[in-house]
Amino acid sequence: MSTIRIGVLQLCSTGDVDANLAALQREVEHCVARGAQFVCTPENTGWLRIGHADTPRHRIDQCPTVARCSELAARHGIWLLLGSTLLWDRTSELPTNSSLLFGPDGGVRARYDKLHLFRVDLGPDTCFDEATHVRAGQRPVSAEMAEVRIGLSICYDLRFPELYRHYAEAGCRILSIPAAFTERTGRDHWEVLLRARAIENQAWVVASAQWGHHGGNRTSFGRAMLVDPWGIVVAQAGDGVGSIVSELDLGRVDTVRRSLPALEHRRQI
């Protein structure tokens, strides 16, 4: 495959699962109508009230967000990345923040549990410690998607470049970074970090995003975007719920890596 048409969602998830899933389905179908073969949703697609006592405790086989994504992938014959949802197992008190890649048959082809858990203290409006509510994952995960390898990550992982270098060395040409960046950190860091990861690894960066106010003191920055292997932003969402659709030229990865073979020049230090 030399190109893939991709849809990248920007949502405003809250504690209302039904409303979240309705918005998810609407935006996925908008992307499919514009020819998307692969659709990516943001972090916390089905629920964004982490740590609240009423947070649903779903296992993977019970989760309505997982079921809806599986159904949408199969109905439209697309690849679909559920940016993340909280999943419990039978033994742990805390869930994982998990990203799932669905194939065109609706089956789960890969699962990644968020490795790096977000902690920030910038005052009462931007103070959060994900580790008090979520259990960290244990390993990187990449997967083959229609003849192209994709590396999976979630939000705060973006600040740890060694994860993406691992994916580049594993042959990934697409880096997936679904997120719910806070408004304050996103304003200054989101685009800079996404472009850096694309430039460093000479790969496409696909960054779906949460946007807007989610209840309580949670507000996300948004600006879902696609960044090419040279670090150029080729598509970006504005304010509001919606989606962007664009063609990814996978040959662009090979061209950039040949013309500026920085990955080959790396020395162990």
Known catalytic residues are 43, 114, 155
CA 167 and chain centroid, separation: 15
Spatial distance between the Cα atoms of 85 and 58, rounded to a whole number of angstroms: 10
CA–centroid distance for 267 within its chain: 30
- Joined together, the tokens standing for residue 261 give 């073979």
Run of H or E residues at 254 = helix 251-259
CA-to-CA distance for 179 and 196, rounded, in angstroms? 16
Distances, alpha carbon 100 to alpha carbons 86, 151, 191, 260, in Å: 11, 12, 24, 33
Nearby residues of 47 by Cβ (< 8 Å), 6 or more positions away: 13, 15, 17, 20, 55, 56, 65, 85, 86
What is the Cα–Cα distance from 253 to 176, expressed in whole angstroms? Answer: 15
Q: Which two tokens stand for residue 162?
A: 């060694």
- Within 12-158, strands assigned E span 38-40, 79-87, 96-102, 108-113, 119-121, 127-129, 141-145, 148-152
